[in-house]
Amino acid sequence: MLVDKALAELVARGLVDRCGEDRYCFHVSAQSDELCQKLFALYEKVLARPQKELLVRGLLSQPGARYLWRVSKLVEVLGQEGFNSEDAMSLVDEEISKGYIIKVRIFFVARVSFVAPPFIPYYRIADFRNVETDEYEQLKEQCRNLGLSINEEHYLTGAYPPELSQPAVQYIEKEKREVQDRLRDEAFRQWQGLTYMW
């Protein structure tokens, strides 16, 4: 029904002619060529959405060693896979609003300024503690007084039900295995002290 409406609109605009019961003929013109380019771009965007969802869900739902992901690292990986940062963040925000992704704010206190790690393994979560908003303000003041550096980052973890996580994990294993292996290797090296020291 939707296709019939679209075809009727194309006929009304003079971009196609009806050439029989179930056939249409395309008019070659600058206007029709421009419309085709726009339609192809739209189709590419629509087709990329499920792949993007599978990629995000699969990365945040990996079995075995699980990690919190720094938001900027996830956006970087999606960018390497051809997705722009605005679309990536829009998808992440959408998944957060549905309760499929949990966003956690983490503060690092150190003697020297450093870049926060792109991943935090679940087994390291015990090294952190909850800080209430009032306590955080006090902590910032204490850090300033002691000359310590405080770094704030947002991290993500998946909370997908199995019906969403399993197909996504399978997609990663079949279609994005090299990405999965590269990221596992990076996370492993990071937490073996080769990149970051605790």
The whole domain housing 149 covers: 25-191
Count how many domains the chain has. 1
Q: What is the pTM of this model?
A: 0.69
Whole-number percent of the chain with pLDDT over 70: 91
The answer to whether position 100 is within a domain reads yes
The answer to whether position 197 is within a domain reads no
DSSP letter string, 131-192: --HHHHHHHHHHHHHHT-EEEEEEEEEE---HHHHHHHHHHHHHH-HHHHHHHHHHHHHHHT
Q: What does residue 114 show for φ and ψ, rounded to 5 degrees?
A: -150, 165
The answer to whether position 19 is within a domain reads no
Q: Is the pLDDT of residue 70 over 90?
A: yes
* Span 96-117, average pLDDT: 88
Residue-wise pLDDT for 34-68, tens only, equals 877 877 776 666 555 678 888 899 989 877 668 89
Burial of 184 (0-12, 13-18, 19+ CB in 10 A): middle
Neighbour count for residue 176 (Cβ, 10 Å):
19
The answer to whether position 82 is within a domain reads yes
The answer to whether position 136 is within a domain reads yes
pLDDT at site 156: 93
